[in-house]
Structure formats: structure tokens, C-alpha cells
């Protein structure tokens, strides 16, 4: 088997993403993004409810109420089945798969545990591809690689993506927000979400048949009284019947769609530096690398056979997956490359060699002492220093509203960097 990348693939991608191609006046003629769409169905068929992600207070993310003539809610136009955040966390582990794991650094973090005050300390290990906040996750930030991480984020914030690509390239692809340290926020280059349309929420009911009636249980237990609190204890512990109800998923009338967008415009914002000099060769290689990783990650769940998101929500793809270029003209060769996983692996491997990305296994270690040190430092700060940026902003708005009520006017804060 030929493991060398085809020169025409390099040329194709450089003509799409390269520094010369993405110049003012020329970039508008090129595609701005790749959109991948697929129609989905529940594995059990369209006649049974599918379970979206649920949130605190037992709610789904439902939008666009549909009401009858009396104003009663009879359904919703849209339900979020899986959000951008969830899909990113499902796509990133693609690079744990045997075929793809050699394309990114494989880093595990040792995490201290002490679940009981009397227990001896232990350690867990987790691959950074599975941590929620990528390079900004506290397990990475407080490890013995913390200084290296900080340098990589600072360099990225300053316009040089190379150190972060060598350390944790999926953070560049899937985004991160270092909200607890440097404040750097980087939006996702690859977005994916699953939505259902024209839905009707359902409710589920359940019953657990206990061994005893409430009366018999009280006859057996001298301390049990005929009160609501004691009856709840009896049913809660399984002695007597327990009746429950809750969210029962949604019936979908308008179909389910997964939509993924890989932004070429965002990829073209990535640059690599050689010292203080702009490095064209490495920049173009970095953009080819991110393109290949993005297309491979987008297809990962589909290649696993189904989208098993949660209990009651396993989705399958129905029909052909549609690849579209948004903006610019058609480019059949680029679409063909997106569908050729072997070619994409070769593109990524060739770029890795140029960027000197090492995919060997590394181990970061986080200690109880490092956690304690940060906790002590944070605890020692003034209360207003511990507030999160969002909390500070909310407090500032509240104070501004009070001033406005008194006729005092302030110049509004620039909020252009909000999510």
C-alpha cells in the first residue's frame, strides 16, 4: 500500500487554504466552509419517542411553541437532540481509534484520588482527548506540564499556533476557553449538532412493585408511622410500591438532521511562526492538518455504525450523507477527498512531519499538592478576585441599571468578545 500523500491533494488544499490563496480579494471566490448533513432516524423507528439531552429542573431544549386555538401548547417546532458542546466531546475521541491515534499526540493525565478520608491515596489516568475542556481543563492546567501549557496558550493567543498544535492539536480544532487562568477563548473550527423538528414532548410513568403494602411494612417496623415522610422512606428504599413520572422523550414528526460545519475561513486564520518570522511552509501544513483532522473527526460516529447518544437515543443515518461547499464555486475533487479517509490520513501524516508533531504516548501528572496550592492561592485572594468574568459582568450590569435609575449614565463596556 502506498503511504505517500498525493501531490495533487497538497495542491488542492493549498489552493483552498494556503496563505497565497486566502488573500484579500481572492478569498471571497473560494468556499468558506464545508457543510455535511445527514438525515437520521431512531434505531427503533420514527413511531417511538427519542430522548433529547435533558437539563436541570427536568427540561429539554425546546424552541418555537405550537399552540391550538385556545392557546394550549400542542408541540414545538424544534428540539436540540445533541448540542455543539456534546458533539465536540463525542468527535474528539475519534483519535483514540486504532486507525487515527497516530495522527495526534497521545497524552494521559494522572489524577490523584482520595474518596474516603481514611483511604490511602490512589491515581486515575485519563487521556486528554476525553477531558471536557481540552487544553484548558484543570487536570491539564494543574499537571507538571502546566508551564508548557501556559506557554502554548500564550503563543496561540499571540498568533503562533505551532506550540499548541504540537501539544494538543484537537484544542485548536474543537476550541477551548481558558476562563480560570489566561482568559484566552478560541472558538470551534468544527461545529456539529443534531436537531429534531416538529416535536411533541412525551411523559413517562413507572411503578416499582414492592414486597409489602404500606400497612404491612408499618406492622413490621415499629418506628414507621403513617406519615407522608415515612411512606416516602418505605417506597424510596423499595419496601413498598414506588410510582414515578418524568420526561418521556419527544415524538418527531418533521425529521432529525445532523449538521456539521468545517470553517475554511477559521482554518485560514491559523498561522505558524519561526521565531519572530512568519513561516509559510508550516502555516500551510498546519491548515492542511486541521482540514484532515476535521473531516476525519466529523465522520467518526457515523463510521462506528450509529449515534448512541444516551439511553433511549440511538440514531442511524438514513440515505446518503451530503457534502456541500458553502460559498465559492463547485469543487468535485475536494468533495472526493472529503470522502476518502485513507487519503485524509496521509494528508495529516505528511503535515505532522513538517510541523514536527510527536504522536508518541506522554504522561502528565497532577498531584494533590498542585491542587492544594491553587486552592490556597485562590482562597487567599480578595472575594472580588475570585469572581468569574460572567459574574463580574452581571454585577456590573446590575450596578449600571441602578445608576441609570438615578439618572447617572456610564459609557457601555465593549462586549464584542462574548460567546
pLDDT tens figures, 364-401: 998 888 888 888 888 876 555 455 555 555 555 555 55
pLDDT of residue 268 exceeding 80: yes
Residue 117, pLDDT > 90, answer: no
Q: Quick one: average pLDDT of 22-44?
A: 94
> pLDDT > 70: what percent of the chain?
90
Is 224 a residue whose pLDDT tops 90?
A: no
Q: What does each C-alpha distance from 153 to 67, 169, 182, 245, 378 come to in angstroms?
A: 49, 12, 8, 47, 21
> pTM of the entire structure?
0.83
Query: In this structure, what are the phi and psi dihedrals at residue 305, rounded to the nearest 5 degrees?
Result: 110, -35
- Percentage of the residues of the chain whose pLDDT score is greater than 90: 60
Q: Quick one: pLDDT at residue 176?
A: 93
| Residue pLDDT, tens place only, 90-109 | 999 999 999 999 999 999 99
Name the nearest CA neighbour of 46 among 211, 170, 166, 198: 198
- Beta carbons within 8 Å of 132's beta carbon, 6+ residues apart: 89
Amino acid at each position: 500500500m502506498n503511504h505517500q500523500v498525493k501531490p495533487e491533494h497538497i495542491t488542492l488544499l493549498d489552493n483552498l487554504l494556503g496563505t497565497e490563496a486566502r488573500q484579500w480579494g481572492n478569498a471571497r471566490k473560494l468556499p468558506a466552509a464545508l457543510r455535511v448533513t445527514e438525515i437520521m432516524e431512531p434505531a427503533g423507528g420514527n413511531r417511538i419517542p427519542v430522548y433529547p439531552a435533558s437539563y436541570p429542573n427536568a427540561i429539554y431544549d425546546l424552541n418555537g411553541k405550537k399552540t391550538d386555538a385556545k392557546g394550549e401548547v400542542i408541540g414545538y417546532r424544534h428540539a436540540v437532540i445533541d448540542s455543539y458542546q456534546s458533539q465536540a466531546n463525542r468527535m474528539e475521541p475519534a483519535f483514540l481509534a486504532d486507525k487515527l491515534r497516530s495522527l495526534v499526540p497521545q497524552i494521559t493525565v494522572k489524577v490523584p484520588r482520595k474518596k474516603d478520608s481514611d483511604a490511602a491515596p490512589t491515581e486515575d489516568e485519563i487521556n486528554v482527548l476525553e477531558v471536557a475542556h481540552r487544553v484548558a481543563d484543570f487536570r491539564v492546567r494543574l499537571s507538571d506540564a502546566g508551564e508548557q501549557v501556559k506557554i502554548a496558550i500564550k503563543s496561540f493567543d499571540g498568533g503562533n499556533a505551532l506550540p499548541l498544535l504540537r501539544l494538543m492539536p484537537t484544542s485548536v480544532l474543537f476550541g477551548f476557553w481558558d476562563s480560570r487562568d489566561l482568559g484566552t477563548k478560541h472558538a470551534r473550527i468544527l461545529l456539529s449538532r443534531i436537531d429534531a423538528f416538529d416535536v411533541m414532548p412525551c411523559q413517562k410513568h413507572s411503578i416499582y412493585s414492592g414486597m409489602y403494602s404500606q400497612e404491612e411494612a408499618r406492622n413490621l417496623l415499629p418506628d414507621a408511622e403513617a406519615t407522608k415522610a415515612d411512606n416516602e422512606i418505605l417506597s424510596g428504599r423499595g419496601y413498598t410500591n414506588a410510582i414515578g413520572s418524568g420526561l418521556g422523550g419527544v415524538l418527531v414528526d418533521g425529521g432529525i438532521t445532523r449538521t456539521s460545519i468545517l470553517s475554511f475561513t477559521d482554518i485560514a486564520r491559523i498561522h505558524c511562526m519561526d521565531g519572530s518570522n512568519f513561516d509559510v511552509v508550516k502555516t500551510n501544513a498546519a491548515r492542511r492538518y486541521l482540514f484532515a483532522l476535521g473531516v476525519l473527526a466529523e465522520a467518526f460516529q457515523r463510521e462506528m455504525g450509529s449515534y448512541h447518544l444516551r439511553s433511549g437515543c440511538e440514531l442511524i443515518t438514513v440515505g446518503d450523507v451530503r457534502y456541500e461547499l458553502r460559498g465559492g464555486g463547485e469543487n468535485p475533487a475536494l468533495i472526493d477527498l472529503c470522502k476518502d479517509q485513507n487519503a485524509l490520513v496521509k494528508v495529516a501524516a505528511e503535515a505532522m512531519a513538517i510541523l514536527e508533531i510527536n504522536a508518541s504516548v506522554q504522561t502528565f501528572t497532577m498531584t494533590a499538592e498542585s491542587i492544594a496550592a491553587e486552592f490556597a492561592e485562590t482562597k487567599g485572594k480578595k472575594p472580588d478576585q475570585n469572581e468569574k468574568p460572567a459574574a463580574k459582568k452581571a454585577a456590573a450590569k446590575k450596578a449600571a441599571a441602578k445608576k441609570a435609575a438615578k439618572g447617572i449614565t456610564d459609557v457601555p463596556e465593549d462586549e464584542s468578545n462574548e460567546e
